[in-house]
Structure 1
């Protein structure tokens, strides 16, 4: 029995607002089913994996990490900008607006 069908792929694509054709639906269904089968084999072989990190692990982001030194004050930064708009620095447009292409 397949875990994912072309109908499932169409539903995923619709939710993601993607347009895919029938060949892509079949290819994605095949790929997802192969991945699902592979993960099922791993789960069967290793059973339930421990979800808690080892005690000696270091988190990817240190919650209390701070940059050393003082931060710049907003008014000081804005005073250096050539043009401002309230609390924002105005910069030249680098991409065309809609309809200006």
Structure 2
């Protein structure tokens, strides 16, 4: 699923706005419903996978049935961050 995510970033004065779009079929192969917990898990694993040290805040998730996508929006903060420890990505998100 990680490889199917389309990423968009917008630079703001104090942070980046991040939008992740996941094909609904890919999303529902892993998750049963659209939830904040799923959004946090996907976002954190996506950032880890790309070795991105941004810290997500204001996480929001929406299902656009007409466009057949699940969209996760967040702000990313970089100032004052320590380097993130390396973690393994769960196998179910690597397909």
Common fold, TM-score beyond 0.5? no
**Larger RCO (CA under 8 A, 6+ residues apart):** 2
Greater radius of gyration (CA): 1
Q: Which has the higher helix share?
A: 1
Higher share in strand: 2
What TM-score, normalized by structure 1, do the two folds share? 0.26
User: TM-score w.r.t. structure 2 length?
Assistant: 0.28
